[in-house]
Chain A
Amino acid sequence: MALTGVLRPGHIVIRVLELEPAVTHYRDVLGLIETGRDDKNRVYLKAWDEHDHHSVVLREADEAGMDYLGWKVDSPATLKKLATDIEQSGLCTDLSWIPAGEQLCTGERFRFTIPTGHVMELYAQKDIVGNNCGTDGENTNPDPWPDGLKGIAPSRFDHCLLYGDDLDGTLKLFIEVLGFSIAEQVMAGEDKSFMIGAFLSCSNKAHDVAFIRQPVKGKLHHASFELGSWEKVLHAGDVLSRTKTSIDIGPTRHGITRGETIYFFDPSGNRNEVFSGGYIFYPDRPTITWWDVELGPAIFYHDRKLNEAFLSVFT
């Protein structure tokens, strides 16, 4: 196996103000598939091409935002090793082991709070429920997509953009301890030496997580889901308009990562994105640098300017 260590963001737990409107949004508008509910009243969903039991968990709470982001690692041995490495790095706080089964169909998880205030987890095991494409048994002679998809129907939960203050500490953790690479960075200041944004990859994706330096702790800017084409991004815009979903911006293109995108809000104000495109990232690919003065086209390549709400609105 060439792709080792941390594989991908495997689950995000999103806090919602009212559970059922949120379920309707994530299941019928975004088009995830509901896979379970637990005795804590949490709702579990997955995108159609994900094989693991869930990638999104909704929890009703008084405050919108993200509870935590869970990263799937390649093996139980890696889980133990990275837990030790994180502890020894001294970069994280509130380290704990969450027993298997606390989330449905999920093995034990190692939980920690990173310098930007976000709660993260590592885990190695989650039950496989499959993508329902096989015609002669699971994963045998599969069709390209399953029947019965609803709404926008992205293929997978892809990445998050997070806001926090200690970008340097979080970057050190992700690069030196967890093995991520910087695909793209946004630099500010007279000599462009002050990093204000970092787009990090642990895989072949242009980003698996991104952080923007802001004087807050543990905030969610958006959770993003992958679509196969630009036309599907336009279709997403149609779905969002016909369901009167609160649209933020798009469809448009990002300069950063080159993705084609549309942003919108769930019924509790958490920002979602669906996107397509980008490029294949390899760890030897040179880091792309954007200057703060070019942040307009870096974020919205066609308009070439930011709107205030895009950066100021988060949960």
Chain B
Amino acid sequence: MRHLVTIENTGETYYCLEGENVLQGMEQLQRKGIPVGCRNGGCGVCKVQVTEGLYTKRKMSRGVVGADEEASGCVLACRIYPQSDLSVEVVGKMARAIIAKKSASFDFGFATMTKINQPDEEI
């Protein structure tokens, strides 16, 4: 059993196998689109808004996903397992960099401190 995942920001699609989480499925096929961080529900960089479809989930850190967010389908790609075809929109803090081809746009923001690096921040 496999389910089609669509990343709305980029139009990228890939099949996620049964038992694989959405981030794992993407990495397995060497697809891109969702930023990859810790892969284990702690750092929040792979945060997505599920816009369509069903999934099961594992525990994710409250430091990066609020209870309300989680209830509304704003979840970590590394912690959700598709139960149907899924559409997701990337909303994590590295989303802008990824979508704009990250090497060209990324700036660590050390000197100016203008880049707010809160995990919850939606850029």
Contacts and interface: CB of A to CB of B under 8 A. Distances in A.
A289 interface: no
Contact of B111 (A63, A292, A311): A292
Interface in A262-315: 265-271, 292, 295, 306, 308-309, 311-315
B80 interface: no
Contact of A313 (B37, B62, B63): B37
A292 B110 contact: yes
Given A306-B108, A312-B45, A17 B60 contact: yes
A269 B61 contact: yes
Interface in A238-266: 246, 248, 265-266
B91 to A, nearest CB: 15
Interface string B16-57: 000000000000000000011111111101000000000000
Contacts of B37: 269, 309, 312-313
B108 A64 contact: no
Interface string A79-111: 000000000000000000000000000000000
A163 B102 CA distance: 23
B117 A309 contact: no
B102 A63 contact: no
A137 interface: no
A308 B46 CA distance: 13
Contacts of B117: 163, 214-216, 312
Interface residues of A, number: 34
A267 B40 contact: yes
Residue in B36, B38, B106 whose Cβ sees the most chain A Cβ within 10 Å: B38
A311 B94 CA distance: 11
A62 interface: yes
Interface in A151-210: 163, 188-189, 194, 196
Interface string B92-120: 01100100001000101011010111100
Contacts of A216: 117-118
A268 B61 CA distance: 8
Contacts of B62: 62-63
A315 B42 CA distance: 6
B11 to A, nearest CB: 22
Contacts of B116: 215
30 contacts: A17-B59, A62-B61, A63-B62, A63-B63, A65-B42, A65-B63, A196-B111, A213-B113, A214-B117, A215-B118, A216-B118, A246-B38, A248-B38, A265-B42, A267-B40, A269-B37, A269-B38, A269-B61, A270-B42, A271-B38, A292-B111, A295-B110, A306-B108, A308-B94, A309-B35, A309-B36, A312-B43, A313-B43, A313-B45, A314-B43
Interface of A: 17-18, 62-65, 163, 188-189, 194, 196, 213-216, 246, 248, 265-271, 292, 295, 306, 308-309, 311-315
Given A17-B41, A64-B63, 19 more contacts: A18-B58, A62-B61, A62-B62, A64-B41, A64-B42, A65-B42, A163-B117, A188-B110, A196-B110, A214-B117, A215-B117, A215-B118, A270-B38, A292-B111, A308-B102, A309-B35, A312-B43, A312-B93, A315-B43
